[in-house]
């Protein structure tokens, strides 16, 4: 996406558009993934990918414009994090509502909407667990955490953390990666003729989110980040 964003920067850098305005637009694109995924069939899944890719593009552009102009701000950092939270949640909630088959002729199965929302909650909590380390250190007057402090003190925990990092299964609950998975699920559903794969994917992502929320919390507590 950097290859694209750098080409767009040249048209924006000398305009009155501010980095924060681009961040607002970025967040809007990410949130629009949820209603996009409510469109039935492969069309809705593709629209969800378009929304998240626009989010990713603008996420690159706003930072590049800010660095070029020297317009750094705490508000910009804060808004960027809010956008990341909302986009991840929007994609997973949209997946759950899609699996519930809102526009189908049969009964709406809200179990899938609940599982999608559960996955979204897990995705948000994982980000919050990371961000709250900085909050805790700031409130106790400690400097920002160093990268080395993220390594668990236990050799067993360190090995488990490296294994999880290598498998990268946790990335499936991030909005951009999840939207790509949803397209694959939609194609499989189109072949099968129902929502079996979308519903299976919703359940799997909910399970991953809950497991990762617990493992991430344990990883933080087992590291030196809170020392």
H helices then E strands: how many in the chain? 9, 0
Which pTM was predicted? 0.89
Q: How far apart are CA 72 and CA 4, in angstroms?
A: 22
pLDDT of residue 225: 87
- Residue 168's region, left for phi above 0, alpha for psi from -120 to 50, else beta, is left
Q: How far apart are CA 163 and CA 122, in angstroms?
A: 20
Residue 168, judged by CB atoms within 10 A of its CB (0-12, 13-18, 19+), counts as exposed
CATH value at residue 53 = 1.20.120.1760
Q: How far apart are CA 137 and CA 145, in angstroms?
A: 8
Q: Is the pLDDT score of 106 beyond 80?
A: no
pLDDT of residue 198: 97
Which is nearest to 132 in space by CA: 89, 169, 81, 87? 81
Residue-wise pLDDT for 51-100, tens only, equals: 999 999 999 999 999 999 988 889 999 999 999 999 999 999 999 999 99
pLDDT of residue 144: 85
Q: Is the pLDDT score of 142 beyond 70?
A: yes
pLDDT of residue 32: 97
Q: Does residue 227 form part of some domain? A: no
Q: Does residue 177 form part of some domain? A: yes
Confidence class for position 131, pLDDT limits 50, 70, 90: very high
Contacts of 96 (CB under 8 A, 6+ apart): 112, 113, 114, 115, 116, 117, 119, 120, 202
Q: Does residue 131 form part of some domain? A: yes
pLDDT of residue 163: 58
Three-class secondary structure of residue 179 per DSSP: helix
Q: Does residue 111 form part of some domain? A: yes
Which is nearest to 165 in space by CA: 219, 118, 95, 108? 219
Q: Does residue 73 form part of some domain? A: yes
pLDDT of residue 113: 96
pLDDT of residue 115: 97
Q: Is the pLDDT score of 42 beyond 80?
A: yes
Domain that holds residue 68: 2-222
Q: Which two tokens stand for residue 147?
A: 């990268």
Rounded mean pLDDT of 110-119? 96
Residue-wise pLDDT for 153-212, tens only, equals: 555 555 555 655 665 767 899 999 999 999 999 999 999 999 999 999 999 999 999 999
pLDDT of residue 145: 80
Length of the chain in terms of residues written: 227
Q: Does residue 173 form part of some domain? A: yes
E-assigned strands of 87-149? none
Confidence class for position 148, pLDDT limits 50, 70, 90: low
Q: How far is CA 95 from the centre of its chain?
A: 13
Residue 150, judged by CB atoms within 10 A of its CB (0-12, 13-18, 19+), counts as middle
How high does pLDDT run on average in the chain? 90
Domain count, the chain: 1
Q: Does residue 50 form part of some domain? A: yes
Q: How far apart are CA 139 and CA 106, in angstroms?
A: 52
């Amino acid at each position: 996406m950097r290859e694209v964003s750098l080409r767009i920067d040249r048209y924006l850098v000398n305009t009155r558009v501010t980095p924060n305005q681009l961040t607002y637009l970025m967040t809007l694109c990410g949130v629009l993934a949820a209603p996009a995924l409510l469109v039935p069939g492969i069309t809705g899944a593709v629209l969800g990918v378009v929304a998240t890719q626009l989010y990713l593009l603008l996420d690159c552009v706003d930072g590049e414009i800010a660095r070029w102009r020297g317009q750094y701000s705490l508000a910009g950092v804060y808004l960027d994090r809010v956008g990341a939270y909302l986009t991840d949640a929007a994609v997973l909630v949209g997946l759950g509502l899609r699996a519930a088959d809102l526009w189908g002729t049969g009964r709406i199965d809200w179990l899938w909407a609940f599982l999608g929302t559960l996955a979204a909650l897990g995705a948000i909590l994982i980000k919050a667990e990371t961000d709250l380390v900085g909050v805790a250190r700031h409130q106790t007057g400690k400097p920002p955490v160093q990268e080395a402090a993220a390594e668990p003190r236990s050799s067993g925990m360190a090995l488990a953390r490296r294994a999880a990092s290598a498998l990268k299964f946790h990335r499936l609950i991030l909005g951009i990666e999840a939207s790509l998975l949803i397209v694959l699920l939609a194609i499989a559903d189109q072949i099968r003729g129902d929502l079996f794969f979308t519903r299976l994917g919703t359940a799997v992502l909910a399970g991953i989110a809950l497991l990762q929320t617990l493992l991430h919390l344990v990883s933080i507590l087992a590291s030196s980040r809170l020392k």
